[in-house]
Amino acid sequence: MDNKGLNRLRKVKELNANPNWVNTDLYRLLYMEDLYIIAYEKIKSAPGNMTKGSDNDTIDGFSMTSINNIIRSMRNQSFDFTRARRIHIPKANGKLRPLGIPSPKDKVVQEVIRMILESIYDGYTPSFSDKSHGFRNGRGTHSCLQEVRGWHGVSWFVEGDIKGCFDNVDHHTLIHILSKRIKDQKFLDLIWKALRAGYMEGNTTNNSILGTPQGSIVSPILANIYLHEFDMWVEEFIARNQKLNRRGDTRKMRNPKYTYYVKELNRIKAGKKRVSPERFSELVRGKISTPSILHNDPDLIRVKYVRYADDWLVAIDGPRITADKFKTEATEFFKKELRLELSVEKTAIRNARNEEAVFLGTIISIGTKEDLVVRA
């Protein structure tokens, strides 16, 4: 097999290690046979890919003739995505989730597009934020929750809930975001066709004017590209609002009372001081009940953030007003920049000292050593 397309993808990855690189000649990758073969091999054994699309074909009927026909239609720009066949599958909460089943040729083309986009945004040097864990190689809910476990000394949680995120992605805004890194109108037009393909439910045809198609192979990376704008905004919010302490870093001040208990107990254990059993017990109880760090350090505000797909969590070590400010400004950002809406009821601010946060189906709370405890 000629690896011309794969070699060009590697070159795209190398070029996009520079986050300011602008891609101008991507559409020609859709002429490369080897990319379709790689795409076919990847998706043919995936669960659900033997399910018929709206054209009643399955992936096992795909062939080199199919690939050549696709390439021919790409060259004359006549390729069109067919409407996906919509079904409904049960969710864990008992409700049903709509899922589109694309045709085999659409699945293969979507996978090639996904490979190209991944080479640009998540290649050798990812453009995506380290705080983004959904739909990425080597990442998942496990890495997301592991990052949360590493947070310490939290005062407030902000739980994020975007109303119908994937169903309400604005197509014009998404294309505008893509055009920052992609100056290839033919390639952008192909993505536009994928977004607007619509779906069939029973004998009814439906057009798509919003959202990334659920069930589409390319939808997850498009959603990450879209929500990456929020990741960058959060970084900017942290830069504006995080405050250093007197030492010039983000570490909290050690509680002098806790330090006293530790020193006294160490002196006793080293034989440098003798006390009654009652006094020893008093010192032990004091150490256990006293926080090792000060939680109301007026010189310090820390903000932590993590996102998995459209679920995100913010932890703030600082005053309540910072949590309120984040929620207010985030709501405005989603509305103005991404044309999405945060749920007022579900985007909750919780006092980490006496309330639990829920994230990715797990309960987040503060442990005895000021670290976060994550449990199902």
Does the structure show a pLDDT above 60 at 49?
no
Distance CA 112, CA 90 (A): 29
Domains delineated in the chain: 4-127+171-209 (no CATH), 128-168+217-255+291-376 (3.30.70), 256-289 (no CATH)
DSSP-assigned states of every residue in 156-192: EEEEEEBTTTTTS-BHHHHHHHHTTTB--HHHHHHHH
Alpha helix (H) residue ranges in the chain: 4-15, 33-43, 64-75, 104-121, 141-149, 171-178, 185-195, 219-241, 256-269, 277-289, 320-333
Residue 11 is predicted with a pLDDT of 97
Whole-angstrom CA distances from 74 to 59, 70, 212 are 20, 6, 22
Residue 205 vs residue 227, higher pLDDT: 227
- Residue with token string 């010189």: 299
pLDDT for 59-102, tens place per residue?
A: 666 889 999 999 999 999 999 999 988 888 887 777 777 888 89
For residue 90, count other CB atoms closer than 10 A to its CB: 9
pLDDT for 106-151, tens place per residue?
A: 999 999 999 999 999 999 999 999 999 999 999 999 999 999 999 9
pLDDT for 310-347, tens place per residue?
A: 999 999 999 999 999 999 999 999 999 999 999 888 89
Whole-prediction pTM? 0.83
- Residue with token string 């007003």: 321
The model's confidence at residue 58, banded by pLDDT at 50, 70 and 90, is: low
